[in-house]
Amino acid sequence: MRLSKLLFPLVVLTGILISSLLCAQTQFVSADFFPADLEFKEIRAVQADRVWKDAAELSRLEYGPVLLEAGLSRYAERTYVLVDSSSMAVSIYTLGDARNAYSVLTMLARSRVQAGPPGDFFASEPSTLLVTTGKSFVRIRSAAAGDLARRVAISIANRIGNPAPKAPSLIRHIPQESCDPSSIRYFLGSRAMKSFGTPIAGAPLTIPADVEVAQAHCAIQDQAGTFTLLSFPTIPMAEEYFNSSPLYDRSAGPNANLYTRHTGPLVAILEGNFAPITADKTLGSLKFSYSIKWIYEKNKPSRIIWGVPVKILGTVVRSLLFTALLCVLSLVAGVMLAGAKLYARRRWKRIAEHDYYIRLKLDEN
């Protein structure tokens, strides 16, 4: 009996020790979102690993000032050695939001941006795969054969989560029939516009704050040029820019014309050797429609009556009314049932009182 009492605590302590050792060996998903060890058989080892968060360090990256303008707050890079002795470099940029990630993708891509998977949007090149997922931008550089880069991108996108599968609405206003989809660029700042944008009338386009810009190369038969679309926060800002644009003081250059159009908060600029009829057709396709949506403000403070919030008071009142309605319906149903029972009883009583019998009348004489 004493031996069993001593063995029980020993067994419990042994179980706790084993559990702690197993938990210590458990590998949790890293905050860097890189693939886990042994997840891909093509990866042999990690060669280099670095993480930058300081603005001074981030500014030293390629296109650092442009990326900082896009809200870059963290940069992580990991280089792998593959089993075929080649290498693969994976870079993850954490930006301000999904629009900034999409903007960086369009600026750095040299091919058409497509909807994912992998990720929300991607652009594939011979040795580089660019992917966006949420507010993150991922660049994978590898010359390895097969679809390793794509599978790694899917793994990283699944770890990051928070998808944003819709492109900015401004992209939908670019004429699809005449503009090259692989040339579409989306900008959210003056630095990005200056570094990657196409100059208009011989100079970089200066845009105010909080203005979205999209550019694309358009061609119709032997006529070609640049289509630029600006989206302003308000219609009056768009009207002011359209009426007093500094573009009107410039020359479009030899063999080039400059056309503009304004609709709603959008201002379109078309530059190239387009004939007036062609320009009118291209800019005339720009439409803007209004839509009204009711938005429920969850953070709006609720009114208070008699020290009770209106929402809670309304719920209580509705519950009392519902209970009263049930009581009335129950009372009506009870009266009807009682009346039906009383009627049936009286009916059967009358039948019993007026019952008829058949008698055999016999004459005893």
Going by pLDDT thresholds of 50, 70 and 90, the confidence category of residue 28 is very low
Write the DSSP string, 127-184: SEEEEEETTEEEEEEE--SSSHHHHHHHHHHHHH-----PPPGGGGGS-TTTB-GGG-
Query: Taking 50 as the threshold, does the pLDDT of residue 17 lie above it?
Result: no
259-276: average pLDDT? 87
Query: Nearest 5°: phi and psi at 45?
Result: -165, 165
Query: Taking 60 as the threshold, does the pLDDT of residue 239 lie above it?
Result: yes
46-51: average pLDDT? 88
Going by pLDDT thresholds of 50, 70 and 90, the confidence category of residue 121 is very high
Going by pLDDT thresholds of 50, 70 and 90, the confidence category of residue 201 is confident
141-145: average pLDDT? 80
pLDDT of residue 7: 46
Instruction: Show the tokens assigned to 46.
Output: 């990690």
What is the DSSP-derived secondary structure letter of residue 303?
Answer: P
Query: Taking 70 as the threshold, does the pLDDT of residue 18 lie above it?
Result: no
Q: Are strands 114-115 and 121-124 parallel, antiparallel or unpaired?
A: antiparallel
pLDDT digit string, tens, across residues 148-180: 888 999 999 988 888 888 888 899 888 888 888
Query: Taking 50 as the threshold, does the pLDDT of residue 26 lie above it?
Result: no
pLDDT of residue 190: 87
pTM assigned to the model = 0.68
Going by pLDDT thresholds of 50, 70 and 90, the confidence category of residue 335 is confident
The better pLDDT of the pair 238, 346 is held by 238
Question: CA 216 to CA 304: how far, in whole Å?
Answer: 55
CB atoms within 10 A of CB 237: 16
Residues 6+ apart with CB under 8 A from 168: 99, 102, 186, 212, 214
pLDDT of residue 271: 87
Q: 131 to each of 91, 140, 216, 329, how far by Cα in Å?
A: 10, 8, 20, 63
The better pLDDT of the pair 200, 186 is held by 186
pLDDT digit string, tens, across residues 70-118: 999 999 999 988 888 888 899 999 998 999 999 999 999 988 998 878 8
pLDDT of residue 65: 92
Query: Taking 90 as the threshold, does the pLDDT of residue 138 lie above it?
Result: yes
Nearest alpha-carbon partner for 187 in 213, 151, 150, 157: 213
Residues 6+ apart with CB under 8 A from 152: 35, 40, 88, 90, 140
pLDDT of residue 299: 54
Query: Taking 60 as the threshold, does the pLDDT of residue 59 lie above it?
Result: yes
Per-chain mean pLDDT for the chain: 79
Going by pLDDT thresholds of 50, 70 and 90, the confidence category of residue 306 is low
Question: CA 113 to CA 272: how far, in whole Å?
Answer: 24
pLDDT of residue 290: 58
309-317: average pLDDT? 70
Give the residue carrying structure tokens 């008699």. 306
Q: Which amino acid is at 234?
A: T
pLDDT of residue 92: 93
The better pLDDT of the pair 131, 305 is held by 131
Query: Taking 90 as the threshold, does the pLDDT of residue 348 lie above it?
Result: no
Going by pLDDT thresholds of 50, 70 and 90, the confidence category of residue 68 is very high
**Helix (H, G, I), strand (E, B), or coil: what is residue 194?**
helix
